[in-house]
Structure 1
Amino acid sequence: MEAEAFASRYGPWALIAGASEGTGASFARQLAEAGLDLILVARRQAPLDQLADELRARHGVEVVTATIDLAAEDATARLVEAAGHREVGLLILNAGADPNGSMFLDNAIANWDALATRNVMTTMRALHAFGAPMRERGRGGMIVVGSGACYAGLPGIGVYAASKAFDLVLCEALWAELEPHGVDVLSYVIGRTDTPAHRELMEARGMAIPDNLADPDDVARLGLERLPHGPVCNWGEADDEAVVSATSAAQRRERIRAVAAMSAAYAAKG
Structure 2
Amino acid sequence: MIDQYGPWAVIAGGSEGVGSAFAHRLADAGLNLVLIARKPGPLAETADAVRAKGAEVRALELDLVAQDPLKAVREVTDDLDVGLLVFNAGANSYGHEFVSGDLDRFQSAIDLNVTAQLALTHHFGARMKTRGRGGILLVGSLAGYMGQPQISIYSAVKAFGRVFAEGLWLEMREHGVDVLELVLGVTRTPAMERAGLNMDIPGLNVAEPDDIAREGLEHLKDGPVWVAGGNYDMAQKRAGFPRDRLVAGTHKAMQRLLPKPS
Shared topology, TM-score over 0.5? yes
2:211 aligned partner: 218
Partner deviation per Cα, 1:138-178 (whole Å, 9 max, x = no partner)? 00000110001111111211111111111111111010000
C-alpha distance in structure 2 between counterparts of 1:238 and 1:162, whole Å: 19
Return the match for 2:19 from 24, 29, 33: 24
C-alpha distance in structure 1 between counterparts of 2:121 and 2:61, whole Å: 19
2:175 aligned partner: 181
Return the match for 2:141 from 140, 147, 155: 147
Q: Which SS does the other structure have where 1:47 is aligned?
A: helix
Length-normalised TM-score, structure 1: 0.83
- The structural deviation recorded for 1:209 is 3.4
Aligned length: 237
Are 2:111 and 1:117 equivalent residues in the alignment? yes
C-alpha distance in structure 2 between counterparts of 1:222 and 1:138, whole Å: 24
2:258 aligned partner: none
Q: Which SS does the other structure have where 2:90 is aligned?
A: coil
Q: Which SS does the other structure have where 1:77 is aligned?
A: helix
C-alpha distance in structure 1 between counterparts of 2:182 and 2:217, whole Å: 10
Change (3 A) 1:208 1:166: closer
Q: Which SS does the other structure have where 1:39 is aligned?
A: strand
Identity of aligned residues (%): 44
Q: Which SS does the other structure have where 1:105 is aligned?
A: coil
Return the match for 2:186 from 176, 189, 192: 192
2:100 aligned partner: 106
Are 2:224 and 1:227 equivalent residues in the alignment? no
1:160 aligned partner: 154
2:80 aligned partner: 86
2:90 aligned partner: 96
Name segments (4+ residues, structure 1) moved above 6 Å: none
- The structural deviation recorded for 1:208 is 5.8
- Which structure 2 residue ranges, 5 or more long, are not aligned? 242-262
Q: Which SS does the other structure have where 1:104 is aligned?
A: coil
- The structural deviation recorded for 1:76 is 2.2
Length-normalised TM-score, structure 2: 0.86
- The structural deviation recorded for 1:87 is 0.9
Q: Which SS does the other structure have where 1:167 is aligned?
A: helix
Return the match for 2:200 from 200, 203, 209: 209
Return the match for 1:56 from 51, 60, 68: 51
- Are the counterparts in 2 of residues 185 and 231 from structure 1 also a CA contact under 8 Å? yes
